[in-house]
Amino acid sequence: MTFFFPTGSLRAFPSRLYPDYKSTVKRAPTKPLVTIPHTLSELTGPVFGHDAAQPGDEDLTRQHQGEPIGERIIVHGRVLDEDARPVPHTLVEIWQANACGRYVHVVDQHPAPLDPNFTGAGRTVTDQDGTYKFITVRPGAYPWGNHHNAWRPSHIHFSLFGHAFVSRLVTQMYFPGDPLFPFDPIFNSVTDEAARNRMVSAFDLDATIPGWAIAFRFDIVLRGRNQTPMER
């Protein structure tokens, strides 16, 4: 199957310059982007075998001697293309803060404890139906220096590939009903409300495991439509 990647779909993405998020001011390109046709270079992308993720890489609560502190959660969903078809065998990578809102990254100096039983990184490959599942702990909110009293809503970073290098996506999954949403310029850089809400996971009682972990569902739609003669 061959795919095409309408650039019009990119209107759902944030602008590269969003001054409320101050780091964009010196880092967003200022000259017009050059529009080019998609050649084989853009329409191809890396593929992943079973070596890309090892069994257990999807369980962030089992990477150390003990279990991490925090609210154990299941995060699962499907990776789809713009025709709502599953994207099978594609790599999904995540990284996140611990339950206290602290990252293991050396640059993070937020005075909240590190958890010796939690690194906060995971990866998996979608199955034939495009489904994926992680087990982790719910990340905490954390302060940052963008503006006075700035706090990031709880989120899990996602990195995905899809069918081609142009479908490459890095995004963040948020949790439903977070009171910090109105104040977060990164979340609000997606100015269309419907598009913004596509970054918010849904509480999933059906996938919740009684007595063990609550579940959140997060479906991800990557660029790419089926190339059919009608659409040429």
Please say whether the beta carbons of 156 and 96 come within 8 A.
yes
Segment interacting with other proteins, rule: CB under 8 A, options 68-76, 113-121, 130-138, 209-217:
113-121
By beta-carbon proximity to other proteins, the closer residue of 195 and 209 is 195
Token representation of residue 40? 């084989």
**Binding-site member from 73, 74, 75, 80 for other proteins (CB under 8 A):** 80
Find the helix or strand (DSSP H, E) in which 160 lies.
strand 155-160
Three-state SS for 125? strand
Annotation says 152 is catalytic: yes
* 170 binding other proteins? (CB under 8 A): yes
Between CA 45 and CA 162 the distance in angstroms is 8
Among 85, 157, 217, 225, the one annotated catalytic:
157
Among 18, 132, 142, 174, the one annotated catalytic:
142
Q: Find the shortest distance in angstroms from Cβ 104 to other proteins.
A: 5
Annotation says 18 is catalytic: no
* Burial class of 229 by CB neighbour count within 10 A (0 to 12, 13 to 18, 19+): exposed
- Per the document, the length of the chain is 232
By beta-carbon proximity to other proteins, the closer residue of 38 and 72 is 38
* 62 binding other proteins? (CB under 8 A): no
Annotation says 21 is catalytic: no
Residue 130 backbone class (left: φ over 0; alpha: ψ -120 to 50; beta: rest): left
- Characterize 133-153 residue by residue with b for buried, 16 or more Cβ atoms within 10 angstroms of its Cβ, and e for exposed: bbbbbbbbbbeeeeeeeebbb
* 110 binding other proteins? (CB under 8 A): no
Draw the binding track, 124-163, toward other proteins (x: CB under 8 A; -: no contact): ---------------------------------x-x---x
* 172 binding other proteins? (CB under 8 A): yes
Among 155, 163, 174, 223, the one annotated catalytic:
155
* 223 binding other proteins? (CB under 8 A): yes
Going from the C-alpha of 111 to that of each of 101, 106, 108, the distances in angstroms are 9, 13, 9
CA geometry: angle 138, 52, 98, nearest 5 deg: 15
Segment interacting with other proteins, rule: CB under 8 A, options 68-76, 117-125, 129-137, 207-215:
117-125
* 188 binding other proteins? (CB under 8 A): no
* 24 binding other proteins? (CB under 8 A): yes
Please say whether the beta carbons of 29 and 16 come within 8 A.
yes
By beta-carbon proximity to other proteins, the closer residue of 103 and 216 is 103
Just list the catalytic residues.
Answer: 103, 142, 152, 155, 157
